[in-house]
Chains A and B, each alone.
Chain A
């Protein structure tokens, strides 16, 4: 009994220490967010006068008004367009490619699969100059179209990898019975495989949607005109125009993070699963 009591006390102390550190981690995580949100509600010069730990006095909402009326929605909309087009293309093309790799026997299957998977580890910076050259040559430089090709291509290897594994789990018998009923491979794909792959596709959509939404290096290289830039570039644009007005910059930041936080709250489990799927890519 004495032993039991001792171990109980020990475990209570251990939990106490653990919760102490958990709270420290909580404070470390939240402080920058607190800084961002609180300061976005100040007037420009109030920040330095009141100090950062003081709540805004008065709460000032015009920063958001200013940001929204100065092109924020344009950046937002352009990001939505690029991500939507790239995602739809990417999902269709990767499902197309995964189908034969997962479910057909042909000579080069293993080789093609290995080649595609190997592409996961190519860093985008190695491709930046040639793709820059390519976009200028075909006249896509400084247009949203320049981003779609690279976004789709760089998301493909990982998506094909995940979808191939996913499609392998669909029982063979379903397809065989359809084939006896006179379905060819194309009908099989659209009528059976694609609908059954929905949950794999939605996981991939979330993971790749987040990384396309946040993509910076390609966008920063290919887009020059402010009226053509995507959301990750909006931050730099606003900072350039209001470099001394920190609260306005904080409002831009808050608005750009908000959609992600709302998405996270709605699709928490899916998002986490999607990120796990992306983990193989690193």
Chain B
């Protein structure tokens, strides 16, 4: 009797808990379903059609769009640009961010001034940075060309954004300017999490600060380093705002990225069927690269 009543009570309690949980979770689940899950599915669905985004007639194209994507030079070129941006982002932003953090960690509170100034670029929106650098790097009245003119003693122009190989690397530089402070703060937090007794013990054992950083702190930062790389990797593969406002993929498509290409197709040429295919392709590539990266790194950690 007693036992049966307990089971009944437990069941009633579980039921009321489930009910409460449903009520609490419902708004979040509905929003995520409407604005994330359904759109991702719909993007794949639209990728099978020829459609201009406005008119009612959607023409079913089967795998036609996907075949086109496989042979679309512009898409693969954009992907290549994304990969270049990705590699240089990881090579520039993370090491510099780490050096700055190491400097601040070693110097302590008296370097707070450096920290505040160094952080400033990250407070600007990508759009504002794009507009600022379009003017600051202009051949006419820009910083670099003006500096070159002063050094040369005669009018000199250095075209950083309007010429083919320069533009992509200029953008990589501006991205480093924007995002390095983020990784700096990230590594500062990482250093902050290392137990101070470890440092004290190392110093008592006769280690110099340089030895402490090289042999103790950096190995301890390993996992943080990996997360930072993953963030930089995903961030550079879906990069959009700044490029869109700086070059719109130009000159002649040399700074086109997957996201700008997709946006152009969909919202300037109103080729939303194929635009969706590009978006879906981008989704697949980003997911694949992120998974691959995590796998490779895991193997390395086992050594």
Contacts and interface: CB of A to CB of B under 8 A. Distances in A.
Interface in B96-116: 96, 99-100, 103, 106, 111, 114, 116
Contacts of A61: none
Chain A's interface size range is: 35 or more
Contact of A52 (B16, B31, B141): B141
A26 B282 contact: no
A100 B24 contact: yes
Interface string A7-26: 10001001000100110011
B21 A100 contact: yes
14 contacts: A32-B132, A100-B21, A109-B21, A122-B283, A125-B262, A127-B35, A130-B39, A153-B35, A156-B32, A214-B127, A220-B244, A232-B128, A249-B131, A264-B123
A217 B237 CA distance: 16
A99 B17 CA distance: 12
Interface stretch (B59-67, B156-164, B182-190, B194-202): B182-190
A213 interface: yes
Interface in B36-76: 36-40, 42-43, 46, 53
A132 B25 contact: no
Contact of B127 (A130, A153, A189, A235): A235
B279 A29 contact: no
B32 A121 contact: no
Nearest to B99: A21
B231 A282 contact: yes
Interface stretch (B142-150, B214-222, B295-303): B142-150
A31 B24 contact: no
A73 interface: no
B118 interface: yes
Interface stretch (A63-71, A170-178, A195-203, A250-258): A250-258
B166 interface: no
A7 B46 CA distance: 67
B135 A123 contact: no
A33 B266 contact: no
Contacts of B146: 51-53
B125 A246 contact: no
A156 B28 contact: yes
A157 B142 CA distance: 42
B238 interface: yes
Contacts of B86: none
A149 B20 contact: no
A135 to B, nearest CB: 11
B230 interface: yes
Residue among A97, A105, A124, A125 having the largest count of chain B Cβ atoms under 10 Å: A125
Contacts of B103: 18, 22
Contact of A127 (B20, B39, B186, B275): B39
B128 A253 contact: yes
B1 interface: no
Chain B's interface size range is: 35 or more
Nearest to A150: B35
B18 interface: yes
Contact of B287 (A121, A134, A264): A121
Interface in A127-185: 127-134, 149-150, 152-154, 156-157, 160, 184-185
Contacts of B116: 268
B34 interface: yes
Contacts of A214: 125-127
A185 B17 contact: yes
B196 to A, nearest CB: 19
A28 B174 CA distance: 11
B297 to A, nearest CB: 15
A276 B262 CA distance: 30
Given A104-B17, A253-B131, 15 more contacts: A18-B103, A30-B117, A32-B143, A94-B28, A123-B234, A124-B238, A125-B240, A126-B279, A126-B280, A149-B31, A217-B241, A221-B267, A250-B135, A276-B185, A280-B227
A227 interface: no
Contacts of A157: 32, 36
A77 interface: no
Nearest to A95: B24
A28 B11 CA distance: 65
B238 A123 contact: yes
Contacts of A257: 123-124, 128
A270 interface: no
Contacts of B36: 119, 122, 127, 153-154, 157
B165 interface: no
Contact of A185 (B20, B177, B263): B20
A282 B234 contact: yes
B28 A186 contact: no
B88 interface: no
Q: Which 8 interchain pairs have the tightest Cβ spacing?
A: A153-B35, A214-B125, A282-B231, A127-B39, A97-B28, A130-B39, A100-B21, A130-B42
A260 B123 contact: yes
Contact of A279 (B123, B127, B227): B227
